[in-house]
Amino acid sequence: MISKTDTGVDAIAGKFEITDIKIDKDFKTLCPGLLDDELRRLKDNIIKDGEFRDPVIVWEQELELVDGHNRLDVWDNLPAELREKIGPPKIKLMEFENREAAHNWIIANQLGRRNLDGKQRSYLIGQRYQDKKKDDKENLKKPKRQTKTSGGHNDRPKKTDEIIAEEVGKSPKQVRRDSNFKDAVDAITENVGPETKNEILANKKLSKTKIVEIAKLPAEKQQAEFDRAMGRGEPSGGTSFDPSEWGGYDTVEEPVVASDVVTEHHLKEMQAPYREVQSLITKLKKAVDKLPEGGAGGWHDENRQQDIHTSLNNFKASVNIVKPAAICGWCGGKKCAHCRHTGVLNKHMAEMHEGGLAAIRGA
């Protein structure tokens, strides 16, 4: 059950059991968790293979798990008959000088994995940068021996973001953005709930820019905005409006032109072209978010990207405010002067007319 580690430490077979392994909360947060469906697929593959192909890795001195949290979760939730048939994961022991060394090994190990999602990788890079920056500050406080220097330009010590950038293959500016993203994820996790971290890091449609925007909101507003970004909850309207927040509408196969009274069916038809434009703007924003992640991302100007986002948000808000929003509250869809004989009101008209605003709130 116990194997020889890469560090050359021999372990006596049977010395430790799988139940002896400890789970450290801080270590676990560095290892991206799987969503329920992904964990279910991992379980099915293990049952199909009839074994745990990969061992779990344990810090020998403390018996704390440093890799294999998902595999251990599968083992803990297997029924007794499958446990007896498959057997527990093998245990691989590793030595670390101290907790900090174990911590850094986890990050490096995770960053070395090919299947790591973009947001998961950014989070870990942000964590690595912050840890290194903290260490550098501590080292500056320690007295150093006087050494001779050549006085040349190349003697300038590298900044922390430059060091991490070389390690991970990104630009220093991208490393700092990853640090901001990591802080945003932690803020939302603290204010909304611990389960949100995996949701954020595993969701491929949720952009890093959107996460940073949500984290800047007051704590009491983050829950509602996060739910909207995840496609649940009430539509928000304004610049943060997203067509997916409404849950979509059934496609109308044969459009019917309203000749007398406008109904909800007609309202949905009228909204269709506006929703299509908003959907295209959303896709364009996501494409803009991916620009700095490309192979030539080093040229990227973060301020210019923000300018583009602001323009797209304003464009989206303009479309949203003129989009048909509700049946006219004065005529009930029969077409009157208030609704300009259309039977419906957009948000701009509703803001001008108290009755229209009431109609939208009641819709």
Q: Quick one: average pLDDT of 205-210?
A: 84
68 lies in some domain: yes
What's the mean per-residue pLDDT of the chain?
77
Max CA-CA distance within the chain?
A: 91
Show the domain range for 127. Answer: 117-138+160-234
148 lies in some domain: no
Percent of the chain with pLDDT over 70: 75
Do 86 and 1 share a domain, yes or no? yes
The whole-number pLDDT of residue 58 equals: 94
Do 75 and 61 share a domain, yes or no? yes
**Quick one: residue 348, left, alpha or beta (phi over 0 = left, psi -120 to 50 = alpha)?**
alpha
The whole-number pLDDT of residue 25 equals: 84
57 lies in some domain: yes
Task: State pLDDT tens for residues 208-249.
Answer: 888 999 999 999 999 988 888 887 755 554 444 444 443 333
245 lies in some domain: no
Q: Which helix (H) or strand (E) holds 58?
A: strand 56-59
Do 270 and 327 share a domain, yes or no? yes
93 lies in some domain: yes
Q: Quick one: average pLDDT of 293-299?
A: 56
Q: Answer with the one of 234, 256, 272 that is the final residue of a domain.
A: 234
Do 283 and 344 share a domain, yes or no? yes
What share of residues in the chain are helix, strand, coil (percent, to 5)?
60, 5, 35
Do 312 and 281 share a domain, yes or no? yes
Q: Using the predicted structure, report yes or no on whether residue 318 has a pLDDT greater than 70.
A: yes
Do 126 and 214 share a domain, yes or no? yes
Identify which has the larger pLDDT, 2 or 306: 306
CA 86 to chain centre: 34
**First vs last Cα of the chain: how many Å apart?**
63
165 touches 174 (CB < 8 A): yes
Do 39 and 60 share a domain, yes or no? yes
Residue with tokens 């008209």: 349
308 lies in some domain: yes
Do 107 and 129 share a domain, yes or no? no
250 lies in some domain: no
Q: Answer with the one of 114, 130, 147 that is the final residue of a domain.
A: 114
The angle subtended at Cα 18 by Cα 15 and Cα 21, nearest 5°, is: 90
Name the pairing type of β-strands 64-67 and 91-94: unpaired
How many domains would you assign to the chain?
3
257 lies in some domain: no
Do 35 and 125 share a domain, yes or no? no
- The count of other CB atoms within 10 Å of the CB of residue 104 is 17
Q: DSSP 3-state assignment of 128?
A: helix
Do 128 and 187 share a domain, yes or no? yes
Q: Give the predicted TM-score (pTM) of the model.
A: 0.54
Task: State pLDDT tens for residues 134-143.
Answer: 877 766 655 5
Q: Answer with the one of 79, 114, 149 that is the final residue of a domain.
A: 114
CA–CA dist 178, 30 (Å, integer): 15
The whole-number pLDDT of residue 16 equals: 75
Do 133 and 109 share a domain, yes or no? no
CA–CA dist 130, 63 (Å, integer): 26
Q: Which helix (H) or strand (E) holds 148?
A: none
CA–CA dist 299, 297 (Å, integer): 5
Do 179 and 105 share a domain, yes or no? no
Confidence of residue 352 (pLDDT cuts 50, 70, 90): low
